[in-house]
Structure 1
């Protein structure tokens, strides 16, 4: 079995020791090639070449951004039988995708699970989401959450370390200072349904959770699953009291965001978000750019994962 290990050496919790241990462990099971990412987009290039070369498994050591790039590289020509399986070893600050698959958050424990699955040739096929030209594994967003991620990424370029505190401070700063809380420029359109207008921000999920606050899952769309279509949570306006109430509902032990300003939809196959002005757009926790229209589609059974 041929495998490519894609390593992001700048990922939050990736260390030289973890790279060396994982490399030695994988080489005991597979014919391994090693690729280090050097810039944004490089992981996608490595994964696309591995797919063209007929590699059987692509393993990632990095965060959710590395996983997203690898998935987009492997699926550059769409899903199919020649696409490698994906194995994910957590090496980022949050590792939402790996944890959504049921893998341990610790890289060493995750490595053990992956090795066992490779020995037993154990895989699972999952659905993915597609937002315009980008695949995503667990979430995408237009508006406030993407604006917050953009603010975090700017802070990281200035030397800040990704942490719970940084995300919380960035979310508060964006909400109170950087976002037009009275604006509602987004319209949601889906087949055979009336448009939903005057939306301020939209979160799209391919599985749950949307993210983690430390070890605590945050669930805007608690019914989202790799085995169904896409789920969506949108807010009509961002008044403080209503926004805090929805945040509390997302953090509850039994989450159920609801209220007159909440739009919640489950198991969608396709829909389009359009905005009167370009808004920040994110996939899998990485800021992409600003968009004024995006079509989202669910892609059932799009990817095999080792878990």
Structure 2
């Protein structure tokens, strides 16, 4: 029996090209024998609603057709608070955004036709999902598929979200990063990792499921999305000059060799301090600290290529 697939399509992704090209994706899915339906998003948060409805209605695979933000919304439609599933659908991804950090951490093809082939007959495996509960998040708590962070990375995400992505995800993020670091003051942060206190002046703390963010920055090199743990990466008292001197480390997996980088693993992370820190989750703004991050082991089914 062919899989019943619902495509959750963000027509604004790929700088609007998806809005023109999605009928070709539907036709290709039908050619592969999939029982396919499509749903187009109309506003922020709509993909979450559509994904939840599709899964609860019996879809085998709910496919995020868009960028990492669309993946983020669809995951929140499939997995609720504490890892509660909404239906039994697995997640599929056809990457149409600029960052593509989620697919970098999984065996998901970059080309749409290859991704559809995997959705048609690829294996389904369980992966972890993160959860962040923060102050002032309008969602009151959300799941993240790839990474969530607090500090300068939240400020960078805010800048990047307001910039054109026409020059690509990596250049856009780097420009936003330099601008963000130049205007940011590192502050004392109190962290508890599974009850272990850590007090440090830092620029940010990243809690990751996948290994990259910001269009390919290998912030948590070696992270495994199915080990049941968060990879916590603490970036210490660094600034724009440090970023410029260490750009080569960002994309080679050697960031952890910098003396101001601490990479630890754990199940639960709490972050607080005297100054509220901006939080992002999969690049989406998600309130401020105080906040709690935790891993939800095996909470999501994912279709991969192998």
- Range of TM-score over shorter length: 0.7 to 0.9
Which residue in 2 is equivalent to 1:69? 73
Pair 1:109-2:114 in alignment: yes
Q: Which of 151, 158, 164 is the aligned partner of 2:159?
A: 151
Q: CA deviation at 1:258?
A: 3.5
1:44-79 residue CA offsets vs partner (Å, 9 max, x unmatched): 011111222222210121111001101101113634
Pair 1:142-2:155 in alignment: no
Q: CA deviation at 1:270?
A: 0.8
Pair 1:276-2:274 in alignment: yes
Which residue in 2 is equivalent to 1:126? 127
Question: Structure 1 residues 190, 100: closer, same or farther in 2, change over 3 A?
Answer: closer
Q: Which of 48, 51, 56 is the aligned partner of 1:47?
A: 51
Q: Which of 89, 92, 113 is the aligned partner of 1:87?
A: 92
The separation in 1 between residues aligned to 2:84 and 2:42, in whole angstroms, is: 26
Question: Structure 1 residues 194, 186: closer, same or farther in 2, change over 3 A?
Answer: closer
The separation in 2 between residues aligned to 1:209 and 1:298, in whole angstroms, is: 17
Moved more, 235-244 or 144-153: 235-244
Question: Structure 1 residues 240, 99: closer, same or farther in 2, change over 3 A?
Answer: closer
Question: Structure 1 residues 153, 203: closer, same or farther in 2, change over 3 A?
Answer: same
Which residue in 2 is equivalent to 1:219? 218
Q: What TM-score does the superposition give when structure 1 sets the normalisation length?
A: 0.85
The separation in 2 between residues aligned to 1:99 and 1:219, in whole angstroms, is: 10
Q: What TM-score does the superposition give when structure 2 sets the normalisation length?
A: 0.86
Question: Structure 1 residues 162, 203: closer, same or farther in 2, change over 3 A?
Answer: farther
Which 4+ runs in 1 deviate beyond 6 A?
none
The separation in 1 between residues aligned to 2:58 and 2:10, in whole angstroms, is: 22
Question: Structure 1 residues 161, 35: closer, same or farther in 2, change over 3 A?
Answer: same
Q: CA deviation at 1:241?
A: 4.8
The 8 Å contact of residues 4 and 35 in structure 2, kept in 1 or not, is answered as: yes
Q: CA deviation at 1:259?
A: 4.3
**Residue 196 of structure 2: SS of its match in structure 1?**
coil
Cα RMSD between the aligned structures?
2.3
The separation in 1 between residues aligned to 2:231 and 2:94, in whole angstroms, is: 26
Q: CA deviation at 1:199?
A: 2.5
Q: CA deviation at 1:280?
A: 1.7
The separation in 2 between residues aligned to 1:261 and 1:99, in whole angstroms, is: 25
Q: Which of 206, 209, 213 is the aligned partner of 1:210?
A: 213
The 8 Å contact of residues 205 and 230 in structure 1, kept in 2 or not, is answered as: yes
Gaps of 5+ in 1: none
Q: CA deviation at 1:112?
A: 2.9
The 8 Å contact of residues 48 and 76 in structure 1, kept in 2 or not, is answered as: no
Where do residues 246-261 of structure 1 align in structure 2 (5 Å cutoff)? 247-252=247-252, 254-261=253-260
The 8 Å contact of residues 11 and 41 in structure 2, kept in 1 or not, is answered as: yes
Which residue in 2 is equivalent to 1:171? 177
Which residue in 2 is equivalent to 1:201? 204
Aligned residues: 290
The separation in 2 between residues aligned to 1:305 and 1:248, in whole angstroms, is: 32
Q: Which of 270, 286, 294 is the aligned partner of 1:297?
A: 294
The separation in 2 between residues aligned to 1:24 and 1:305, in whole angstroms, is: 23
The separation in 2 between residues aligned to 1:68 and 1:81, in whole angstroms, is: 15
The separation in 2 between residues aligned to 1:223 and 1:111, in whole angstroms, is: 27
Pair 1:12-2:6 in alignment: no
Pair 1:190-2:193 in alignment: yes
Q: CA deviation at 1:276?
A: 1.7
